[in-house]
Structure 1
Amino acid sequence: MRDRNEQDLVRALRGAADDAPGPVGDLPTAITERRRRRSRRRARSVLAAAGVLVVIGGGTAVARDVFPSGGGEGVSITGVAADPSFPAADPSEAAGGTPEASVDPVTEVWPKAVSTIPAKAADGWKYRPITGLSATELLLAAESSFEKAGRLEVYDTAARKSTVLAEMPAPPGVKGYFPQGVEVGADSIVWWGETPNNRDEWADFWVVPRSGGTARRVGEVTGAQSHVERIGVTADSVFWSVRAGGVYRMPLAGGPPAYIDGTDGLHLLSWPWAFDVANGREGEDWDRNQTKLFNLETGQTVAVNAPDDVRGLRCGPVWCFGARGDETVVQRTDGSDRRLLPGLSDRMEYTPLAGRFGFFNLSGVTGRDAAGEEIEDAHAPLAAVYDPVTGRTAGVGKRDPAGGGGVGTGTSSSPSSIIYWDEDRRQVRECKMEDVSSTPASPEDAAPTGKTEVCSTTEKGGGKEFTVVNLLAVPPTE
């Protein structure tokens, strides 16, 4: 098992991405971590643009992020009571699992969920996957420049063609405007925007019919209300939670925002659900367990049954994932169907994707050579997706022979149903000899002489198409 210190470092890096320096290029297989409102600036590094770029094994880069859904299992929360003694369950007896993690390629596990799409639109704008709309429809953002979304498109994986859904305009007279998180509702699609290059506490909201059309600006907010974290939409209102906790509502027809009583300390998960842990904001206690879900439509509170020895428990409407030592625990919200997942310990996303699936990093390291260097399986997948309904685990992402590769999730507001990567993207290590005399030295030290080898790793290739896994195409009983 991997050292827990590395996982702690990953969490620290994720928070540090907010304060990283400016971008130095794009990472096509990575997804954009939502621009943190606390920093209030546009500057982002590749680290921040990717969410978090994690070095594992022989230098594999894995893009991490959390964002919408639109899928998963319903909202049934009934089940048998959990055994409070929590014995280590044999996964071979739980939903078809095996004592050791068996990771087959996703093309073999869920072939109907896998497709390839172009990485660019016909006009050259780069696509960034958002989430699935159905088993065969993907919602994409088309970007005119780095992180500058200019329109929404729908890609039909069966017909293999895209359709423009809506333009994403900036409000008149607002400079430095960038659309942010997009959320899909039953009838509408909404997003919010801000001006991250300045210190204004300001945000606005837009709506367009799910069938497409002209986007309409709903309204704007300032001050603490503008610290938007996640958004949701119903037939008549847009909802959002703020970083400090609490949920607001604004009518789609326009009007002043209103705070929803009883939502103190709550954060949107995926409409209509809110929970009592923040959505990965800087300083969040990652080891804290989620204790409840709150239904904003009905007012129903669902208690989460968290074992005493589990930490970092995060739940969708039905399924939860947490850590027990160096292993992952999966259970239903009431504690039933609880089991351990040997071999899957490093969660790439804390909240279940599409409300149901666990997403894990795989190191690919199989041992060490005589010099102590790690030996990595170049054919191992970069990450794994676990389905608690069937107990099946699917490998995603392509690891290149040099130990590189990237995989990301869609950029929707609530946890996405999309995982994607660029199979042709590779990391190339290049080295050259440089004169060390050019290396700065303190006045007290003698000037260095001679030459030294300087190496750097860059990404090359790719940019033509993405391989996409749409979890909405995985039947809930398959």
Structure 2
Amino acid sequence: MRDRDEQDLVRALRGAADDAPEPVGDLPTAITERRRRRSRRRARAVLAAAGVLVVIGGGTAVARNVFPSGGGEGVSVTGVAADPSSPAADPSEAAGKAPEVPVNPVAEVWPEAVSIIPAKAADGWKYRPITGLSATELLLAAESSFEKAGRLEVYDTAARKSAVLAEMPAPPGVKGYFVQGVEVGTDSIAWWGETPNNRDEWADFWVVPRTGGPARQVGEVTGAQAHVERIGVTAGSVFWSVRAGGVYRMPLTGGSPEYVAGTDGLHLWSWPWAFDVANGREGEDWDRNQTKLFNLETGQTVAVNAPDGAQGLRCGPVWCFGASGDESIVQRTDGSDRRALPGLLGRMDYTPLAGGRFGFFRLSPVTGRDTEGEEIEDFRVPLAAVYDPVTGRAAGVGKRNSSGGGGIGTGTSSSPTSIIYWDEDRRQVEKCEMEDASSISAPPGAPTSTGKTEVCSTIEKGGGKELTVVNLLAVPPTE
């Protein structure tokens, strides 16, 4: 969570968008899809179409080279009829293609997992979902301003009520402090914070009983130990991994940090598991395959059997998701039960969700091409899909608006979250203005443009009242 104004971000990113490549991006907490019209060649600086992802619930980020599949032709969405006003699709488009994974709306697949919650607390602070505490309890951060978390609340989806769990204070005398990843343990909830807009290498850790109460600062770290990427919490210690690899721990009673022997090159996934690839918040190691998981409690190592040609394989203790060529794949860690997932384009989050069971994939609205080669798009196709390898079922999540865009977020927990959410009433609107062509950046060596050209950007309107939340802890382990 960062100290920055949303409009400042949009202005800054708009300036960077001119030279950005076609987006294939990912965001661990949220994403924005946009309408692709490759046949339209007018000059534009549309944020969502120029490598910048403007998102709800997760800030703003520049797209990285994340989706290994690189796109593809649509997905079959069961129960969604083709648009009768669209030109007929070229039947040759589907020739020789494997059947795509059927995707039904999540409210039909797992109705017990879907809830509508208020987007704000009673005092007007905005809610940011973190993760599920149980099938009916959601852990939320209440923010006084953009990404400025001030307290933890628990929302009961059955009773439709929230309760304050703990305040999230800043340490005395520390300016520019922002809470980062929150982690739920068996007995405690922990989080870490930093001063992201300063150049100092500093971070601290806090803990509160899972039942609630006053938060307590565990301790502070500096230097390389402050390059925190993820944390874990046990009855006696807080653990964290750093971006360069390696795991540290500190007693909840305070004290000096201690390096955990044998964790060179390891990164926390979800306590007690660590793996041997970076957590990818900035795209590092995305295509590299994970080779193992290591249990920090027992010392057990689980080897990952990656198939030839696999890219970006990421695994929990049981299931792995990745890509092979242009297709997404799923398998068990030992390589068994390997399946291709046609139509599920590229995973939306860096690691599987909810204990390694679920995959989270992008969906395309493109259902084919007409006789002139134009893409046919159905904007009733959800933004993304959650795939359960246990049952083989896929559920569509997120709402695509009439421009093809839309926002979707994932909870901000340190471990892979169990929450996906979006604002049904929030929409993207394209705003276009005529500007001097000379003011638009051009690639090096390209001739300078003259005259006027139409420059467009996407802005978000509406929403802000309710969030649709999918809590995967409510999905039965077997069906």
Shorter-chain TM-score: what band?
0.7 to 0.9
| Residue 82 of structure 2: aligned partner | none
| Residue 111 of structure 1: aligned partner | 111
1:138-169 deviation per Cα after TM superposition (whole angstroms, max 9, x unaligned): 00000001110000000000000100000000
Indicate if the aligned counterparts of 2:29 and 2:412 stay in contact, CA closer than 8 A: no
- Write the letter of the residue equivalent to 2:462: G
Give 1:458 deviation, angstroms: 1.1
CA distance in structure 2 between the partners assigned to 1:140 and 1:426 by the alignment? 23
Matches within 5 A, 1:147-166: 147-166=147-166
Give 1:365 deviation, angstroms: 1.0
Structure 1 residues 99 and 364 mapped into 2: Cα distance closer, same or farther (>3 Å)? same
Indicate if the aligned counterparts of 1:64 and 1:349 stay in contact, CA closer than 8 A: no
What secondary structure is seen at the aligned counterpart in 2 of 1:351? coil
Q: Which moved more, 1:235-244 or 1:275-284?
A: 275-284
CA distance in structure 1 between the partners assigned to 2:449 and 2:414 by the alignment? 53
| Residue 366 of structure 1: aligned partner | 367
CA distance in structure 1 between the partners assigned to 2:275 and 2:441 by the alignment? 53
| Residue 205 of structure 2: aligned partner | 205
| Residue 214 of structure 1: aligned partner | 214
| Residue 460 of structure 1: aligned partner | 461
| Residue 20 of structure 2: aligned partner | none
> 1:473 aligned to 2:474?
yes
1:97-152 deviation per Cα after TM superposition (whole angstroms, max 9, x unaligned): x9421000000000000001011110000000000000000000000011100000
**Identical aligned residues as a percent:** 78
| Residue 428 of structure 1: aligned partner | 429
| Residue 262 of structure 1: aligned partner | 262
Structure 1 residues 26 and 135 mapped into 2: Cα distance closer, same or farther (>3 Å)? farther
1:317-371 deviation per Cα after TM superposition (whole angstroms, max 9, x unaligned): 2110121111122111112222111211311123110021000000111234566
CA distance in structure 1 between the partners assigned to 2:467 and 2:156 by the alignment? 14
- Write the letter of the residue equivalent to 1:378: F
Give 1:53 deviation, angstroms: 4.6
> 1:24 aligned to 2:3?
no
CA distance in structure 2 between the partners assigned to 1:437 and 1:190 by the alignment? 51
What secondary structure is seen at the aligned counterpart in 1 of 2:107? helix
Give 1:197 deviation, angstroms: 1.3
> 1:57 aligned to 2:40?
no
> 1:178 aligned to 2:157?
no
| Residue 311 of structure 1: aligned partner | 311
Indicate if the aligned counterparts of 1:57 and 1:364 stay in contact, CA closer than 8 A: no
- Write the letter of the residue equivalent to 2:396: G
Give the TM-score of the pair, scaled to structure 2: 0.79
Give 1:199 deviation, angstroms: 0.8
CA distance in structure 2 between the partners assigned to 1:208 and 1:441 by the alignment? 50
| Residue 297 of structure 2: aligned partner | 297
CA distance in structure 1 between the partners assigned to 2:450 and 2:190 by the alignment? 59
> 1:284 aligned to 2:284?
yes
| Aligned CA-pair RMSD | 2.9
Q: Which moved more, 1:312-321 or 1:359-368?
A: 359-368
Give 1:374 deviation, angstroms: 3.0
Structure 1 residues 25 and 142 mapped into 2: Cα distance closer, same or farther (>3 Å)? farther
Structure 1 residues 371 and 339 mapped into 2: Cα distance closer, same or farther (>3 Å)? closer
CA distance in structure 2 between the partners assigned to 1:288 and 1:365 by the alignment? 29
Indicate if the aligned counterparts of 1:62 and 1:382 stay in contact, CA closer than 8 A: no
What secondary structure is seen at the aligned counterpart in 2 of 1:350? coil
| Residue 226 of structure 2: aligned partner | 226
CA distance in structure 2 between the partners assigned to 1:319 and 1:446 by the alignment? 52
CA distance in structure 2 between the partners assigned to 1:168 and 1:294 by the alignment? 32
Structure 1 residues 101 and 413 mapped into 2: Cα distance closer, same or farther (>3 Å)? same
Structure 1 residues 174 and 378 mapped into 2: Cα distance closer, same or farther (>3 Å)? same
What secondary structure is seen at the aligned counterpart in 2 of 1:424? coil
CA distance in structure 2 between the partners assigned to 1:316 and 1:333 by the alignment? 8
1:71-92 deviation per Cα after TM superposition (whole angstroms, max 9, x unaligned): xxxxxxxxxxxxxxxxxxxxxx
1:29-66 deviation per Cα after TM superposition (whole angstroms, max 9, x unaligned): xxxxxxxxxxxxxxxxxx98976655453669685999
Indicate if the aligned counterparts of 2:194 and 2:204 stay in contact, CA closer than 8 A: yes
Structure 1 residues 395 and 25 mapped into 2: Cα distance closer, same or farther (>3 Å)? farther
Indicate if the aligned counterparts of 1:64 and 1:348 stay in contact, CA closer than 8 A: no
Structure 1 residues 446 and 160 mapped into 2: Cα distance closer, same or farther (>3 Å)? closer
CA distance in structure 1 between the partners assigned to 2:316 and 2:428 by the alignment? 35
Give 1:454 deviation, angstroms: 3.8
CA distance in structure 2 between the partners assigned to 1:52 and 1:399 by the alignment? 12
CA distance in structure 1 between the partners assigned to 2:214 and 2:206 by the alignment? 10
Structure 1 residues 65 and 477 mapped into 2: Cα distance closer, same or farther (>3 Å)? farther
Indicate if the aligned counterparts of 2:27 and 2:349 stay in contact, CA closer than 8 A: no
Indicate if the aligned counterparts of 1:23 and 1:49 stay in contact, CA closer than 8 A: no
CA distance in structure 2 between the partners assigned to 1:174 and 1:336 by the alignment? 51
CA distance in structure 2 between the partners assigned to 1:432 and 1:382 by the alignment? 28
Indicate if the aligned counterparts of 2:33 and 2:404 stay in contact, CA closer than 8 A: no
- Write the letter of the residue equivalent to 2:183: E
Give 1:432 deviation, angstroms: 4.3
| Residue 143 of structure 1: aligned partner | 143
Give 1:441 deviation, angstroms: 11
- Write the letter of the residue equivalent to 1:139: L
> 1:329 aligned to 2:329?
yes
- Write the letter of the residue equivalent to 2:385: A
| Residue 351 of structure 2: aligned partner | 351
For structure 1, list consecutive stretches of 5 or more residues without a partner in the other structure.
1-16, 28-46, 67-97
| Residue 395 of structure 2: aligned partner | 394
CA distance in structure 2 between the partners assigned to 1:283 and 1:380 by the alignment? 27
Indicate if the aligned counterparts of 1:50 and 1:63 stay in contact, CA closer than 8 A: no
| Residue 167 of structure 1: aligned partner | 167
CA distance in structure 2 between the partners assigned to 1:153 and 1:123 by the alignment? 13
CA distance in structure 1 between the partners assigned to 2:28 and 2:426 by the alignment? 17
- Write the letter of the residue equivalent to 2:121: A
Indicate if the aligned counterparts of 1:132 and 1:138 stay in contact, CA closer than 8 A: yes
For structure 2, list consecutive stretches of 5 or more residues without a partner in the other structure.
11-25, 38-47, 59-97
